[in-house]
Structures are given as structure tokens and as C-alpha cells.
């Protein structure tokens, strides 16, 4: 006979702090399977289908943040009405006042939950007082959904879109569970029109969704979790216990880990979105293939970089335009300092952002003499130069990841000191021998990363042509393989903390 | 409708030959070679200088394509 444990089933519906429905966990996969079945049954009935998705999304967020799901509802209500009021007024002054109110409310809430202790610490440090942190719960994903909701109000302010009349549709845009915790930070102007269309998923969409979910599981649950738990965290947690060789591999490993962790999550989110009939924004495009830092930001966390470009950099650039390139450089520095702070309330994130801002400004101001020099030595527009640029860009980025990973500056300098002053090439064979699976996964991860995009498209196409049963078997096989390699405990997605 | 003068200001700033470039009302800035997010400021300044006018930041930020920018210039001259 079946042995139902009612208590266990009921637990699925309860909020347990630190136990969200993470993509890739068995509880999520089972829940998602039932969601998909019901959703498909409702596919012809628009209103029940959307309402079902809204309630499931709220449940998903409740599982992650408990009572703070009310904050999400408040965010949706307030921004829906800010958008509506703004469109009502034609004159600039009331529109500006509404925008200002929306910014104060959204950023004020984000600031309170995320940055209160950081600013209290700055004030107490300056006044040489003692710092008593305030106990504030950080609602998961708040940075993501705040920016997502704000983009709606900002787009109406810039007259890039008309406000929606439907609070139901806007709620789904804000609550949509695949991207609520860690993006992509979608735009209402791209999401809302999809609700006007009839529910339809093409074979190509299913093939792409399957590939994205498989890639996401491999990246996040296999590569990122394994190398972080078994290697990266151990070395970078105590860099002085290891030689420069291990420290260097750990830093390369971390660069791969953060990419696999975050882009893996995005891939699954986009794949799940596709299976529900929604196309979310692309968020990554082989970022370590970038030939410059500017190129990196066109490939890394695209939904955030384009948000910052449209709503922060462009307005700043226009303000400082009389300074021409120097104005651009100032706008870049401010944008990246705030980009760093968006990632977390600590000086190491600020430094990480400042480094990117500095790289970009420096490259901008020296672009002309640099190109002149490349032309003079006959390297301009050559393959060799591109390879060199990818190599240098990658290392400039890896350098910044050190500060992103370790919050304590002393530790960051210890890592650099070990790499530059205690590098032992003779340790390499020993390292490969003692960390064989880690080494294999790092190499596998980077090889996968540098494969051409055409191969990805071809694989998605092949997957879409397979019969449904074979597709399900392929997915089951990947889940099984990932489960075999997976470390004992699932690591939380790095990007949730932002 | 994009005027020849308007097109030539853009091409001059971006070092392009007007004969090689197809520009219409719907063309977006990023579809014009060299008109990227950083060079944008130089194109705007070149237009302001050529027509001897000054845009408000928000007016430029509202432009979705080159046609909108041309209309903005026309309205200022108008």
C-alpha cells in the first residue's frame, strides 16, 4: 500500500527559513511537474491560467521569504499606480514628482533592508563609536524585483511604453516565479505584450528550454557546486595554507564557479519561462570570450547591465555631455560604483565596481592612441590581437573577482601575494593528481564556455526534433548524472544574496 | 523624414560616407556603424553645434530612433 506521510506533504506548503524551492532540487522538480500539468490543462482559459501562475508565483516567493511576500505585493500595487498616475499627467512637473516618489519608495525599501547596517557602520566608524548591527531580515531577491518594477515606472516616464490597464498582468510581471529570486531583470515592455497572445509553445521553444535546463543543471549543480565545495572555498578561505599554484587555480575556479552558478540559474529560469510560454531576456553570452571590459558587460548579466545603461548611465552621460569623453568616464565610474553597491552592502563590492568603472574609463580615454599603436605594429583587427585581448580581459576580470569573493581585504592581498611571490610550478602535477575531479571539471567548464554559439543552436535544434518520450529520458538522464556528481549539500545560488 | 543635412552631421561625426549609409525614421542608433552608447554623446553634441540649439536631457532620452531625434530638432527650429 502507498504510505503517505501527510506531515511531509504539508511541509511543502510551509515556510522554512533557508529552505526555498531552489531550482534543481527534487522538491522543486516534482512541484514544477504538477504545475506544468495543471498549467497545460488551463492553457485554453486565459484568466484561470494567469491567475494560477500568479498564485503559484506568490507561493514560490512565500517559500523563499515567508511573510515578506507581502512586500512583493506592496511593490506591485504601488508601482502599478505610480505608472497609472504618471500616464494621467502630461506636464513634466507632476510626472517628475511621481517618478521621485517611486524612486524614494522603491530605493528606500531596498536601502532599508539591504544597506541600513552598512551605513550605520560608516557613521559609527567616522564618529569612532561602537557598531551594533540592527537585526533586519533581507527579503530574498529584493534587488531583482525592485529593479524590475522600477523599470516599468521609468519606461513610462521616458515614454518608452504605455502603462498596462490590467493589474492582473502587471502582478504576473512582478511576481513571475522563474525570475523573481535572481533575474533576469525583465522589462515590462517585453513581458506584458506576451500576455496578449494566445498560449503557444513551439517545438523549437521546447528544444531550447530543454537545452537551457540541462545546461543550467550541469553548470550550477554539477560544476559550480562541486568546485566550490571541494576546492575554491577551501583554498580561498585560507590562502596562506596553499601555494600560489593552488591559489591561482582557485581564482580561475572561482571565475568559472560564479559564471556557472549565476548563468546556470538564469538558464533554468529562462527554460522554465519558455515551458510556460514566456520568453525572458537573455542574461549571458559567453562572457569570458569578451575582447574588452565593455564587451564583457555586453555579455555578463545583460539584464542588469542594460538596466544600468538605460536608466543610470544614459541620464548621467547627458548631464555631463559638455565634458565629452571625460563626462562619459565620470558617468561610467558612478554607474559602476553603484553597480558594485547593488551587489552587496560591503566595501569589497564597491571596490569591485570601482575597478570595473576604472577599467572602462581608462579604456575609453586611451582608445584612440591604443588603436593607433595597434595599427602601427600591424596588429589592428587581427586574430592574434583578438586572442590577446580575450586573454588580458579575462585576467583583468579574474583580478576583480578576488575582491568579489573575499570580503576581507587582507585575505585578498594574501591571495595575490601567494600567486606572485609563492608560485611553485612543480606543484602543478601534484595539484592535478590530488584534485583530479576538480581539475577535470574546471577544464570541462572552460572548454564548454569557449565552444561556438552555433553548436548550442544546433543542439537545441536536434533536441527539438526528438520525440517527447526521448526528451524526457534525456532530461532524466542528465538529472541522474548531475545527482551522482553533486556534492552532499546543495550550495545556495551566489546571486540570491544580492 | 531624415534631412540630408541631419544625415551628413551624423556621418561626419562618425567618420562615415553618407553614400554607404541607409538611414530612415525607424533606424535605431545602434544600427548605425560606430554609434554606440559611448559615442552617442559626441553625435548629440555635433547636432547641437550644427543647429545651434540645446536639448534637454530628457528630450534626448525619450528618442527611440533617429526619426524622433530629427523631429526633436525640427520642433526646436520650428
Kindly state whether A368 is in contact with chain B, defined as any CB-CB distance less than 8 angstroms.
no
Place of cell 567616522: A126
Nearest chain B residue to A158 by CA distance is B62
> CB distance A324–B41 less than 8 Å?
yes
CA dihedral A80, A86, A88, A92 (to 10 degrees): 180
| Chain B residues within 8 angstroms (CB to CB) of chain A | 37-38, 40-42, 44-45, 57-58, 60-62, 64
Min distance B3 CA to chain A CA atoms (Å): 24
Q: Which cell goes with A81?
A: 499606480
Nearest to A321 among B45, B58, B62 (CB): B45
Q: Grid coordinates representing A117?
A: 547596517
Instruction: Say which of A318, A322, A328 has its CB closest to residue B61.
Output: A318
The verdict on a CB contact (< 8 Å) between B38 and A321 is no
Asked if A158 lies within 8 A of B57 by C-beta distance, the reply is no
Q: pLDDT > 70: what percent of chain B?
A: 100
Interface of A with B in 407-446 (CB under 8 A): none
Chain A residues touching residue B44 (CB < 8 angstroms):
318, 321
Q: Is the pLDDT of residue A87 over 90?
A: yes
pTM (predicted TM-score)? 0.91
- Which chain B residues contact residue A321 at CB under 8 A? 41, 44-45
Maximum CA extent, chain B? 32
Q: How many angstroms separate the CA of residue B9 from the nearest CA in chain A?
A: 17
> Does residue A130 carry a pLDDT above 90?
no
In this structure, how many other beta carbons lie within 10 angstroms of the beta carbon of residue A351? 17
| Contacts with A64 (C-beta within 8 Å, 6 or more apart), sequence order | A20, A21, A140, A141, A180, A181
Position A4 confidence tier, pLDDT thresholds 50, 70, 90 = low
CA count, 13 A, side-chain hemisphere, A424: 10
Tell me whether residue A489 is exposed, middle or buried, using C-beta atoms within 10 angstroms of its C-beta: 0 to 12, 13 to 18, 19 or more: exposed
In this predicted structure, the answer to whether residue A490 has a pLDDT above a threshold of 50 is no
Per-residue pLDDT band at A1 (split at 50, 70, 90):
very low
CA of B45 to nearest chain A CA: how many angstroms apart?
7
Mean pLDDT throughout A306-323?
A: 95
Per-residue confidence (pLDDT) for residue B58, from 0 to 100: 94
Interchain contact, A309 vs B41, CB within 8 Å: no
Query: Cell 522554465 appears where?
Result: A272
pLDDT by residue, tens only, chain B of 78 residues: 888 899 999 999 998 998 888 888 999 998 999 899 988 999 999 999 999 999 999 999 999 999 999 999 999 887
pLDDT in tens, A188-214: 999 999 999 888 888 889 889 999 999
| Binary contact (A328, B58; C-beta < 8 A) | no
Asked if A93 reaches chain B (Cβ–Cβ under 8 Å), the answer is: no
Most A CBs within 10 Å, among B44, B58, B64, to test the A interface: B58
Residue A121 — pLDDT band, cuts 50, 70, 90?
confident
The whole-angstrom separation of Cα B25 and Cα B66 is: 6
Catalytic, A395? Answer no
Pick the residue from chain B with its C-alpha nearest to A160. B62
Spatial distance between the Cα atoms of A156 and A318, rounded to a whole number of angstroms: 19
In this prediction, residue A484 carries a pLDDT of 75
Interatomic CA distance for residues A391 and A397, integer angstroms: 10
Lookup: cell for A24: 534543481
ipTM score of the complex?
Answer: 0.93
Write out chain B residues lying below 8 Å of A315, CB-based: 57, 61
Taking the C-alpha atoms of residue A300 and residue A348, their distance in angstroms, rounded to an integer, is: 19
Q: How far apart are CA A118 and CA A114, in angstroms?
A: 8
Say how far apart CA A271 and CA A178 lie, in whole Å: 9
Interchain contact, B37 vs A160, CB within 8 Å = no
Give the contacts of A358 (CB within 8 A, at least 6 positions apart). Answer: A333
Please, which residues 297-316 of chain A have a Cβ atom closer than 8 Å to chain B?
A: 309, 313-315
Mutation target among A298, A314, A336 for the B interface, most CBs of B within 10 A: A314
| Predicted local distance difference test score (pLDDT) of residue A12 | 73
CA-to-CA distance for A159 and B62, rounded, in angstroms? 6
Taking alpha carbons only, the member of A252, A255, A249, A258 closest to residue A225 is: A258
**Interchain contact A279–B (C-beta under 8 A):** no
In CATH, what number does B4-77 get?
Answer: 1.10.1200.10
Cα distance between residue A177 and residue A72, in whole Å: 12
The percent of residues in chain A predicted with pLDDT above 70, rounded, is: 96
Q: Which residue has the cell 580575450?
A: A390
CA distances A84 to A156, A167, A184, Å, are 9, 10, 25
Residues of B in contact with A368 (CB under 8 A): none
pLDDT at A494: 55
pLDDT over threshold 80, residue A9: no
User: How many Cβ pairs closer than 8 A exist between chain A and B?
Assistant: 36
Q: Per residue in B46-64, pLDDT tens?
A: 999 999 999 999 999 999 9
| Contact residues for A154 (Cβ-Cβ < 8 A; gap 6+) | A99, A310, A311
HEC sequence for chain A: CCCCCHHHHHHCCCCCCCCCCCCCCHHHHHHHHHHHHHHHHCCCCHHHHHHHHHHHHHHHHHHHHHHHHHHHHHHHHHHHHHHHHHHHCCCHHHHHHHHHHHHHHHHHHHHHHHHHHHHHHHHHHHCCCCCCCCCCCCCCCHHHHHHHHHHHHHHHHCCCCCCCCCHHHHHHHHHCHHHHCCCCCCCHHHHHHHHHCCCCCCHHHHHHHHHHHHHHHHHHHHHHHHHHHHHHHHHHHCHHHCCHHHHHHHHHHHHHHHHHHHHHHHHHHHHHHHHCCCCCCCCCCCHHHCCCHHHHHCCCCHHHHHHHHHHHHHHHHHHCHHHHHHHHHHHHHHHHHHHHHHHCCCHHHHHHHHHHHHHHHHHHHCHHHHHHHHHHCCCCCCHHHHHHHHHHHHHHHHHHHHHHHCCCHHHHHHHHHHHHHCCCHHHHHHHHHHCHHHHHHHHHHHHHHCCCHHHHHHHHHHHHHCCHHHHHHHHHHHHHHHHHHCCCCCCCCHHHHC
Residue A437 has pLDDT above 70, yes or no: yes
- pLDDT single digits (tens) A224-262: 988 998 889 999 999 999 999 999 999 999 999 999 999
Is the omega angle on the peptide bond into residue A477 within 30 degrees of 0, that is, cis? no
What count of other Cβ atoms lies within 10 Å of the Cβ of residue A39?
A: 19
Evaluate whether A89 touches A78 at the Cβ level (below 8 Å). no
Give A132-147 pLDDT, tens digit per residue: 777 888 888 999 999 9
In angstroms, rounded to a whole number, what is the distance separating the alpha carbons of residues A379 and A139?
50
Amino acid at each position: 500500500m502507498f504510505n503517505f506521510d501527510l506531515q511531509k506533504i504539508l511541509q511543502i506548503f510551509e515556510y522554512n527559513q533557508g529552505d526555498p524551492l531552489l531550482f534543481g532540487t527534487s522538491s522543486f522538480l516534482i512541484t514544477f511537474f504538477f504545475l506544468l500539468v495543471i498549467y497545460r490543462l488551463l492553457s485554453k482559459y486565459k484568466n484561470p491560467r494567469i491567475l494560477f501562475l500568479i498564485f503559484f508565483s506568490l507561493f514560490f516567493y512565500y517559500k523563499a521569504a515567508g511573510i515578506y511576500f507581502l512586500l512583493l505585493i506592496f511593490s506591485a500595487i504601488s508601482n502599478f499606480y505610480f505608472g497609472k498616475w504618471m500616464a494621467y499627467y502630461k506636464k513634466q512637473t507632476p510626472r517628475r514628482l511621481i517618478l521621485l516618489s517611486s524612486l524614494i519608495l522603491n530605493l528606500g525599501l531596498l536601502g532599508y533592508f539591504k544597506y541600513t547596517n552598512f551605513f550605520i557602520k560608516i557613521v559609527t566608524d567616522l564618529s569612532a563609536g561602537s557598531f551594533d548591527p540592527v537585526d533586519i531580515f533581507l527579503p530574498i531577491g529584493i534587488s531583482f524585483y525592485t529593479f524590475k518594477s522600477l523599470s516599468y515606472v521609468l519606461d513610462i516616464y521616458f515614454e518608452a511604453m504605455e502603462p498596462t490597464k490590467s493589474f492582473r498582468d502587471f502582478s504576473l510581471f512582478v511576481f513571475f516565479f522563474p525570475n523573481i529570486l535572481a533575474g533576469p531583470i525583465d522589462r515590462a515592455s517585453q513581458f506584458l505584450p506576451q500576455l496578449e497572445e494566445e498560449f503557444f509553445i513551439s517545438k523549437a521553444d521546447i528544444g531550447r528550454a530543454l537545452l537551457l535546463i540541462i545546461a543550467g543543471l550541469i553548470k550550477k549543480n554539477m560544476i559550480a557546486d562541486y568546485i566550490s565545495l571541494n576546492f575554491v572555498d577551501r583554498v580561498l578561505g585560507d590562502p596562506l595554507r596553499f601555494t600560489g599554484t593552488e591559489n591561482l587555480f582557485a581564482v580561475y575556479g572561482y571565475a568559472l564557479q560564479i559564471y556557472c552558478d549565476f548563468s546556470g540559474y538564469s538558464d533554468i529560469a529562462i527554460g522554465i519561462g519558455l515551458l510556460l510560454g514566456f520568453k525572458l531576456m537573455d542574461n549571458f553570452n559567453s562572457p569570458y570570450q569578451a575582447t574588452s571590459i565593455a564587451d564583457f558587460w555586453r555579455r555578463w548579466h545583460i539584464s542588469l547591465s542594460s538596466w544600468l545603461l538605460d536608466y543610470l548611465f544614459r541620464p548621467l552621460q547627458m548631464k555631463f555631455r559638455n565634458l565629452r569623453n571625460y563626462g562619459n568616464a565620470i558617468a561610467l565610474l558612478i554607474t559602476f560604483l553603484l553597480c558594485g553597491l547593488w551587489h552587496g552592502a560591503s566595501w569589497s563590492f564597491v571596490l569591485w565596481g570601482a575597478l570595473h568603472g576604472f577599467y572602462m574609463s581608462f579604456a575609453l580615454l586611451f582608445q584612440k592612441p591604443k588603436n593607433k599603436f595597434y595599427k602601427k605594429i600591424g596588429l589592428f583587427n587581427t586574430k592574434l590581437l583578438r586572442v590577446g585581448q580575450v586573454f588580458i580581459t579575462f585576467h583583468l576580470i579574474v583580478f576583480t573577482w578576488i575582491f568579489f569573493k573575499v570580503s576581507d581585504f587582507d585575505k585578498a592581498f594574501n591571495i595575490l601575494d601567494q600567486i606572485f611571490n609563492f608560485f611553485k610550478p612543480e606543484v602543478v602535477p601534484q595539484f592535478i593528481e590530488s584534485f583530479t575531479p576538480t581539475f577535470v571539471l574546471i577544464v570541462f567548464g572552460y572548454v564548454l564556455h569557449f565552444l561556438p554559439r552555433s553548436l548550442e543552436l544546433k543542439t537545441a535544434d536536434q533536441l527539438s526534433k526528438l520525440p517527447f518520450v526521448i526528451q524526457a529520458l534525456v532530461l532524466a538522464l542528465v538529472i541522474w548524472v548531475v545527482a551522482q556528481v553533486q556534492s552532499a549539500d546543495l550550495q545556495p545560488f551566489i546571486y540570491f544574496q544580492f | 523624414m531624415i534631412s540630408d543635412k541631419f544625415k551628413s552631421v551624423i556621418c561626419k561625426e562618425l567618420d562615415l560616407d553618407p553614400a554607404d549609409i541607409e538611414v530612415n525614421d525607424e533606424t535605431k542608433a545602434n544600427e548605425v556603424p560606430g554609434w554606440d552608447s559611448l559615442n552617442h554623446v559626441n553625435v548629440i553634441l555635433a547636432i547641437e553645434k550644427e543647429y545651434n540649439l540645446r536639448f534637454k536631457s530628457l528630450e534626448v532620452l525619450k528618442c527611440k530612433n533617429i526619426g524622433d531625434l530629427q523631429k526633436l530638432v525640427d520642433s526646436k527650429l520650428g
